[in-house]
Amino acid sequence: MTESFKRYLVGGAVRDQLLGRPVTERDWVVVGATPEDMTAAGYRPVGQGFPVFIDPATGEEYALARTERKSGRGYGGFVFHTSPDVTLEQDLIRRDLTINAMALADDGSIIDPYGGQPDLQRRLLRHVSPAFGEDPLRVLRVARFAARYADLGFRVADETLQMMRGIAESGELQALTPERSWKEISRALMEARPDAFFETLGNCGSLPQVFPELQRDRPEEDLLATLKKAAELDLPLPARWACLLENLAGCSDGDRCQREDVTRVAAANRRFKVPRDCQDLALLTARFQPCCIEAQNLPALELLELFKAFDIYRRPERFEQFLGSCQAIQRSDGQAGTHYLRQAVETARGVGVDALLKQGLNGAELGEALQNQRLQALKAHQQHFSQ
C-alpha cells in the first residue's frame, strides 16, 4: 500500500482481540484514498453501494472511510459518502456500539474516540451516537451481541435500551424484511446464549414486532431455559430453531404422537423463509416431541410410524437432531426416552433387506415384509428392554 493513504483494522477484530477472544474475520478501513488509488495499488473492487476492495493476497476487505445520512425508511434507507477527506473518526461514529467503533493502526496503537475500551471493561453494550436510532436493524444486532457476550457479564446500557424501545415504538422494525430478520435470528440462535437475544428483544418491547408468533411481550422462562440448554448441548441450527418453535404448537399432554396443531410453526417457517432442514425439523419436533417423553410406553407400531416420519433409514442425522431438541426441551443431558429411542432406531435399522430379496420378494410385497420384520424386531426389543 502506498504512503498516500492509511489503513486501520476496525470493528470486531479489535474488540475480540482486546477481549482475548479468537479473531475469525478482519475488516479494514482506508483513510485518504480514492477508488483509483486502491485499484492502482492492486486491490480488487467488489462494493456496489460504496467502495469496498479485496486484497488478493489475503482475501480481506478494505472499505474506504465513509459517512452516511438517513434518506428513507428502514435499515436500507441510507446514503453513503466516501472521500479522501473523510476522517477515521467520522467513519467510526456511524457504527452501532462503542465496542465496535475502535481501530488498530499499523504501529499497534488503538484509536478509540468514543469510549469502547472503558465499555469493554464495564461489560457494557452502549450505542455510539444518536444516529443509532435511525437503523432498526441495530435492535437485532445489539440483542445478538447480548447473546454472544452474556456469559462474560455484558449488559445493554440503559440509555441504549431506551433508544431500542423508541425504535420499536416508531414502527421502523416493520421495515425489516423477513429474510434480514432470519439472518440475525439464525446467527443469534448459534451464539453462546441465544436466550439472551430473545430476552433483550422482550426487554425493549421489540419481540412482538420481530417475532409475533410468540404472542407475548416477553418470552416465558421455560423457553429461555430451553434455548440456553440447546446451546449447552451444542445443538446445530435446525435443532435450535425447533426448540424455539416447539412451544407454538399448543399441544396438550395427552396428544402424544397425534400432535397435528402445528399451524403456527408452519406459519413462522413460511414467514421467515427458513432453510428446508430447519423447517422440517421444527414441524416434526412440534408434532412428535411428546413421543420422546413417553417413548417406553409407545406400541411398536407407533415407533415404526415415528421412524418413518423422520426417514431414519436415509436421514439418520435428522432423528439425532430431534433427540437433541427433546433433551433441550426437557432440559436434560440425557433421559431414558432418548436412550430408549436410540436403541430402538438401531434395532429397526438392523433389519436387512437382503434375505427378503433372496426370497424373490419385490415391490409392495417386499415393503410389507420388511415392515413386518421391523415390527417384530421392535416388539422383541421392547420385551427385552422391559425385563
How do residues 221-239 score in pLDDT, each as one tens digit?
999 999 999 999 999 999 9
Q: Are residues 120 and 172 in the same domain?
A: no
Q: What is the mean pLDDT of residues 214-223?
A: 80
- Segment holding 194, helix H or strand E: helix 194-203
Answer whether 84's CB lies under 8 Å from 52's CB: no
pTM of the entire predicted model = 0.89
pLDDT (mean) for 359-373: 86
Q: What is the pLDDT of residue 254?
A: 45
Q: Quick one: pLDDT band at residue 339, thresholds 50, 70, 90? A: confident
Q: Edge to edge, what strands does the sheet with 6-10 contain?
A: 44-45, 52-54, 61-64, 27-31, 6-10, 103-104, 110-111
Total tally of structural domains belonging to the chain: 3
Using alpha carbons, select from 204, 252, 203, 245 the residue that is nearest to residue 227: 245
Same domain, 215 and 287: no
Question: 150 and 179: one domain?
Answer: yes
Q: What is the pLDDT of residue 148?
A: 97
311 in a structural domain: yes
Predicted local distance difference test score (pLDDT) of residue 251: 54
For residue 218, is pLDDT > 80? no
User: Stretch 318-334: mean pLDDT, rounded?
Assistant: 89
Whether 296 is covered by a domain: the verdict is yes
Amino acid at the residue 297: N
When mean pLDDT is compared across 18-22, 60-64, 251-255, the lowest value belongs to 251-255
Burial annotation 237-274 (CB, 10 A radius, 16+ → b, else e): bbbbbbbbbbbbbebeeeebbebeebebbbebbeebeb
The whole-angstrom separation of Cα 148 and Cα 154 is 9
C-alpha cell at 128: 455510539
pLDDT reading at 93 higher than 60:
yes
From 168, 190, 219, give the residue that closes a domain.
Answer: 219
Residue 334 has pLDDT above 70, yes or no: no
Render pLDDT for 117-144 as a digit per residue (tens, 0 to 9). 999 999 999 999 999 988 999 999 999 9
Would you state the pLDDT for residue 95? Answer: 93
**Residues 335, 361 within the same domain:** yes
Residues 161 and 300 both lie in one domain: no
In the structure, what pLDDT confidence band is assigned to residue 383 with cuts at 50, 70 and 90? confident
Among 76-90, 105-119, 297-311, which stretch is predicted with the lowest mean pLDDT? 76-90
Do 244 and 380 have their domain in common? yes
For residue 74, what pLDDT band results from cuts at 50, 70 and 90? very low
Model confidence over 37-50: pLDDT tens digits? 999 999 999 966 67
| Domain match, 119 and 143 both | no
Q: Between 294 and 274, where is the model more confident?
A: 274
Q: How far apart are alpha carbons 233 and 246 in whole angstroms?
A: 17
Predicted confidence band of residue 4 (pLDDT cuts 50, 70, 90):
confident
Q: Is residue 371 part of a domain?
A: yes
Average pLDDT over residues 249-273: 70
Same domain, 279 and 371: yes
In a domain, 72, yes or no: yes
Q: Domain range spanning residue 42? A: 1-135
